[in-house]
Chain A
Amino acid sequence: MLGGYVGPIAIGVAMLLGARAAGVARALLRASLLLSLPIAVSVVLVSVFTRPGSTVLFTIGPFDATLEGVDFAAQTLVRLLAISLSIGLFLLTTEARAFVFDLERRGVPPRFTFVALATIEAVPTLVERAATIAESQRARGLDTEGGVRARVRGVLPLVGPAVITSLTDVEERSLALESRAFSRPGRRHLLWSMPDSGRERLLRVVLVLALLGAVVVRVAGVPLPVVG
């Protein structure tokens, strides 16, 4: 019965230890919990009351909460946390630019690098622009603090300029970039390379093999001591 918990908890703890080492443990925990919360709530509600089971813990209306249901929900939650902690740790400790450039070094086309980086950069720019637009429209009397009706009225005057200027910016930028040989097909020599070491390479190989091994074991149905 406990078997289903060991794996995910082990992963979760490993991720948290890694996060501690990187100094992002608190941020990781907060982000993972916040992101998992909505799904977790629905999982719990559904599983606790609908899993077929024999041991009833309590009843709410026509719904029975079973021990089996609680067990299933708990296992799912723990797996969910393991996943979100791993993804979270990756996102928090990997610099986006470094990641994208390294992909390019390994053969991904430069266009992809540009799109990925531009997308990341686009967000703060858009946020700034939205604030500027809101200012201009407020200066014309648009009420951004009022009731629902006022807010609905404000959608087009706020969204319209944002969309239009984003599009014209893209047009202008793509013209300007032609003069920087942006449309040249083919690879380029990046100025920067990701520092790597023998140890990290070995670790990567080991992790990939472990993943493959785990899949094979699962598929082949090999019984392991702790599988519940």
Chain B
Amino acid sequence: MTRLALEQVGFVYPDGTRALDAVDLVVEPGASVALIGQNGSGKSTLVRHLNGLLRPTEGRVLHDGVDTAERRTAAMASVVGVAFQDPGRQIFSRRIRDEVAFGPRILGHSKERVVASVAEALELVGLTDVADQNPYDVGYSRRKLLALASVVAMETPVVVLDEPTTGQDARGVRRVATLVETLVTAGRTVIAVSHDMRFVAETFERVVVMQRGRVVLDGSVSEIFAEAAWPTLASSFIEPPVAARIGARLGLGSTPTERAFVDAMAARGGS
């Protein structure tokens, strides 16, 4: 289990643009965190610091208290697995099963372990029945699930998902949500970048809001979508979930999820 820590992390691109500014972030093992913010807020840059694709120009990134500055990027893949948004940028195998097996094999897992983790990952995303098909013979949304399975099979303590629900239909979104919940229950850390606020509120415990390279809000789902935070969210063009908005209109306090909304209504006496 790995504790992630970013200490005063800053990052400036070679052309001078600053993408991260004094970011402090700690993620304990088993946490489920959603990272939200406008395009250009630094979310993607932050994600790339978690697994060493980018190295901070200021500050440190720590895995279990150890500075990652000296570790090679390829080595960090066994600790932090990242599934990027576009499945097309990584799929190259003839069969879905082989594609999922790529990551675990590169990490040097034993044959038995690879077979087991691949089967489990396919099951979790619902691709078991098409495991022997060509990834390009199934639709885009299933290829996205394939990308998720590919990272899950690596059995990393930390799993990072970049916009996992984009392009998914209702069933697909539910599947991703279930996947996240299963991983968290198993003790793995899940960090997701998303702009689907409903998915964020219903699936994650903690939300980190980024704006212009800084962390501007960091708290529980309930805190982040409470009315007090709305002005900050609005300045990033983020709209709280409908449940939160209606709950606020009815004076129910912070009700970011359907469950919270209904519970609050019931507590009030239902009118």
Q: Which residues of A contact B (CB under 8 A)?
A: 129, 132-133, 135-146, 156-157, 159-161, 164-165, 168
**Residue on B nearest A159 in the bound complex, by CB:** B92
Which B residues, 166 to 210, have Cβ-Cβ distances below 8 Å to chain A?
none
Sample of 27 A–B contacts (CB below 8 Å): A132-B84, A133-B89, A135-B53, A136-B84, A137-B90, A138-B53, A138-B73, A139-B51, A139-B77, A140-B77, A140-B103, A141-B106, A142-B74, A143-B74, A144-B74, A145-B73, A145-B74, A146-B74, A156-B92, A157-B102, A159-B92, A161-B88, A161-B89, A161-B92, A164-B91, A164-B92, A165-B88
Instruction: Assess whether A140 is in contact with B81, with CB atoms less than 8 Å apart.
Output: yes
* 6 additional A-B residue pairs with CB within 8 Å, beyond A139-B81, A140-B81: A135-B53, A137-B90, A138-B77, A140-B90, A140-B154, A156-B92
B230 within 8 A of partner (CB) = no
> What chain A residues lie within 8 Å of B116 (beta carbons)?
none
A165–B89 Cα distance when bound, in Å, is: 7
Instruction: Assess whether B103 is in contact with A145, with CB atoms less than 8 Å apart.
Output: no
> What chain B residues lie within 8 Å of A132 (beta carbons)?
84, 86, 89
Instruction: Assess whether B90 is in contact with A133, with CB atoms less than 8 Å apart.
Output: yes
> What chain B residues lie within 8 Å of A156 (beta carbons)?
92
Partner of A140, one of B48, B72, B136, B150: B150
**Residue on B nearest A169 in the bound complex, by CB:** B88
**Residue on A nearest B93 in the bound complex, by CB:** A160
Instruction: Assess whether A141 is in contact with B89, with CB atoms less than 8 Å apart.
Output: no
**Residue on B nearest A130 in the bound complex, by CB:** B89
How does the 8 Å CB contact mask read for B73-117 relative to A, with 1 for contact and 0 for none?
Answer: 110011001111010111111000000001100110000000000
A167 to chain B, nearest CB (A): 10
A137–B86 Cα distance when bound, in Å, is: 12
Partner of B92, one of A145, A146, A157: A157
A172–B82 Cα distance when bound, in Å, is: 27
Partner of B53, one of A133, A139, A168: A139
Given A135-B53, A157-B102: A141 and B107 within 8 A (CB)?
yes
A33 to chain B, nearest CB (A): 28
B151 within 8 A of partner (CB) = yes
B156 to chain A, nearest CB (A): 10
> What chain A residues lie within 8 Å of B48 (beta carbons)?
135
A202–B107 Cα distance when bound, in Å, is: 69
A171 to chain B, nearest CB (A): 11
A35–B206 Cα distance when bound, in Å, is: 57
B18 to chain A, nearest CB (A): 20
Instruction: Assess whether B77 is in contact with A164, with CB atoms less than 8 Å apart.
Output: no
A215 to chain B, nearest CB (A): 50
> What chain B residues lie within 8 Å of A142 (beta carbons)?
74, 106
Partner of A129, one of B84, B89, B107, B136: B89
> What chain B residues lie within 8 Å of A139 (beta carbons)?
51, 53, 77, 81-84, 151
Instruction: Assess whether A161 is in contact with B53, with CB atoms less than 8 Å apart.
Output: no
> What chain A residues lie within 8 Å of B103 (beta carbons)?
140-141
> What chain B residues lie within 8 Å of A137 (beta carbons)?
90
Instruction: Assess whether B92 is in contact with A140, with CB atoms less than 8 Å apart.
Output: no
A160–B89 Cα distance when bound, in Å, is: 9
A34 to chain B, nearest CB (A): 24
A165–B88 Cα distance when bound, in Å, is: 6
> What chain A residues lie within 8 Å of B81 (beta carbons)?
139-140
A58–B100 Cα distance when bound, in Å, is: 65
B204 to chain A, nearest CB (A): 21
Partner of B77, one of A141, A146, A161, A168: A141
A168–B73 Cα distance when bound, in Å, is: 30
A108–B92 Cα distance when bound, in Å, is: 39
Instruction: Assess whether B74 is in contact with A168, with CB atoms less than 8 Å apart.
Output: no
B224 to chain A, nearest CB (A): 27
> What chain A residues lie within 8 Å of B74 (beta carbons)?
138, 141-146
Shortest 7 CB-CB distances between A and B: which pairs? A160-B92, A141-B77, A141-B106, A143-B74, A136-B90, A140-B103, A139-B82
**Residue on A nearest B78 in the bound complex, by CB:** A141
